[in-house]
Every structure is written in C-alpha cells, then in structure tokens.
Amino acid sequence: MTGRVAIVTGGTGALGQAITTTLLEAGAAVAIPYAVPEERAALEGRLAPELRARLLPVAADVTDEGAMTKFVAAVSERHGRVNGLVNAVGGFAGGDLVSTPLGEWERMMKLNLTSAVIACRTVLPGMIAGGGGRIVNIASRAVLPPQGGFIAYTVSKAAVITLTQALAQEVRAHRITVNAVLPSTMDTPANRRAMPDADRSGWVTTTDVASVVAFLLSDRAAAVTGASLTV
C-alpha cells in the first residue's frame, strides 16, 4: 500500500489502532480523526518513528459533518488525495427493546451508522474525482442472524451492512468498492473487562480483523464490492 492514503475513523480505539498500525506497516499514509488525546498519545507511543511520520492525527468529531468536511480537506491538502476509508468508529450498548431508552437507540445509531454515513459523504467526491477508491465499514458478526439482548446495537450494525450494499451499487461505476467486515467477539481490553469469566479461546484478535481490512483496501480486492466478510 505504499503511496496510498487512508482515513481510519476510530483509529485510536482497540481495533482502530490495529488497523492503523497494519496500514502504516504496509506503507500507507494514515489520517485519523480522534476525540480522546490519551488514546492518540498511546497510538503514537507504540509506533516506530518512521511509521509515526506517516500518521496524521486531527481532533475532529466524526458525527459532525462540518468537522469531518474540514478534516478531509486537511488530509487532501497534505496528501493530495484519499484512496481509502475505514469506518471503525462504533459503540456498544446492551438491553432489550423495552428497557433500552430512546436516547440509547439514538446514540447507537449516531455512533455506528451516522458516523459512517458522514465519513462516506465527505470522502466520496474526492474519490470520484480521483478515479476510484476503497471503503470498508466495520459491522458485527452478531447481526448474522440478529441477536437479542443488545437490540439497539444489533439494529445499528445491520444498518451498516445495508449502507454498504446500497452504496456499493451507487459508486461501482466510479471504480470505488464498498465492503463490510463483521468481526465476532474481539479480544480487547474492554471485552475482557466486560466478560472476565468468558472463554476467550474463540475470540478474534484485532490484528486478524485488521488484516482483512487491509486486504479489502488493496488492489487484490479490486473485484470485491458489496460483500460482508465475517471474521
């Protein structure tokens, strides 16, 4: 991916850091909109100097279209293009239909779906003008089939898959691919805290998920679009 420029929303989170590191190691320049300075510092601290030199972190709210428009403009000004977008921002909430407050529904939709919609809207004009690109959305294995018990999360992530499939058809003629990656339970610090007694033998590493994302951003996946890949 040498010479490629990728944006990774959620790039300072557990999965996002793995994706960002994988892409940098593959030769790409990576830009991340971040909200938590401590997470950004942790990411930069784990990178070798030569990788850190190709990282562009910018404070920006991914659920604010104006902020993301400015962010993408800053990336384009520095690099001249955006070849790839990974929508890795997300949130989780438990609860059934009756017990989940409407505010939590709105938060799940905003974090998991609206953030992806805004990021796609802001990068697509440049990708179309540049003759192509790659978009990868992070959904969830829990939506195939949909699971109960965390219904707002499940519905929002199912919407991400629908967005992926519909957008893939809209931009196919512009040589832009749009795919979704559906991880099962990932081995992250947050999941370990939430499920301390769980059997982690079947959990997926964030590095494994990042490898699939990197494949979908590469030329090897040029003929793959509208797909939902479970990991």
Q: What is the pLDDT of residues 70-80, one digit of tens each?
A: 999 999 999 99
Q: From CA 16, how far away is CA 177, in angstroms rounded?
A: 20
The backbone torsions φ and ψ at residue 148, rounded to the nearest 5 degrees and listed phi first, read -90, 170
Nearest alpha-carbon partner for 29 in 87, 89, 80: 80
Record the tokens describing residue 94, joined without a space.
């438990």
Using CA atoms, how far residue 135 sits from 6, 97, 129, in Å, is: 9, 31, 15
Q: 50, exposed or middle or buried, with CB in 10 Å at 0-12, 13-18, 19+?
A: exposed
* CATH 1.10.760.10 holds for 5-89+110-144+153-230: no
Residue 210: in which H helix or E strand, if any? helix 206-217
Residue 106: in which H helix or E strand, if any? helix 102-109
Contacts of 203 (CB under 8 A, 6+ apart): 184, 185, 186, 187, 191
- How many CA atoms within 13 Å lie on the side-chain side of 112? 25
The mean pLDDT of 195-223, rounded to a whole number, is: 88
DSSP state of 227: -
Statement: residue 17 has pLDDT above 80:
yes
Please tell me which residue in 87, 153, 214, 221 is annotated as part of the active site: 153
pTM assigned to the model: 0.93
Helices (H), the chain: 14-25, 37-46, 49-52, 65-79, 102-109, 115-130, 151-171, 189-194, 206-217
Nearest alpha-carbon partner for 85 in 177, 211, 207: 177
Record the tokens describing residue 136, joined without a space.
């990868």
34 catalytically annotated: no
Q: What is the pLDDT of residues 128-176, one digit of tens each?
A: 999 999 999 999 998 888 888 889 999 999 999 999 999 999 999 999 9
Nearest alpha-carbon partner for 74 in 25, 129, 29, 116: 29
Q: From CA 112, how far away is CA 92, in angstroms rounded?
A: 9
Q: What is the pLDDT of residues 212-225, one digit of tens each?
A: 999 999 999 999 99
Domain boundaries, the chain: 5-89+110-144+153-230
